[in-house]
Amino acid sequence: MKHRANGWPLVGCIMMIDAFDAENGATRFVPGSHLEVRGPEEAMANPMDDHKDQILACGPAGSIIIFNASIWHSHTANRSNRRRRSIQAHFVPRQARAATDQGARMRPETFQRISDLAKYVLDVQHAPRA
């Protein structure tokens, strides 16, 4: 998400299920890019290329990265035969729209089972269609 775009600020989180290292596709970050008004697709000839300022977020399994999601970030290539699994989450301000519509993905029986607080947190107002 671009700096100060609709829905900003956005906070991201990555929990490393497996260790992240330079060989198995660690997430890369470009320091200072969270203040950039352009996205990487506008500033770079190919956003998949290495950026001269990128750093890799390496760590042991169980590590957690919390970051300003406006910072340019992406995974790198896994050049090993090892896994690089993670659990990812993000915080989107209530007044913004999340990229994923949880209500459209939820089973009707789940909607009926969860509490009003869970519906509020997930911003699910109406029962999904069967």
- The Cβ-side half-sphere exposure at 113, using a 13 Å CA radius, reads 5
* Tens-digit pLDDT profile for residues 3-14: 666 656 688 999
* Tens-digit pLDDT profile for residues 60-112: 999 999 999 889 999 999 999 999 999 998 887 777 766 566 667 788 888 88
Domain limits, the chain: 11-95, 100-130
120 has pLDDT over 90? no
- H/E element, 113: helix 108-113
| Cβ contact 102:108 at 8 Å | no
Paired tokens of 25: 């596709």
Ordered DSSP codes for 18-57: S-B-TTBT-EEE-TTGGG-SS-HHHHSS-TTSPPTT-EEE
What is the pTM (predicted TM-score) of this model?
0.71
d(CA 48, CA 43): 12
Residue corresponding to tokens 């190919």:
46
- H/E element, 121: helix 116-122
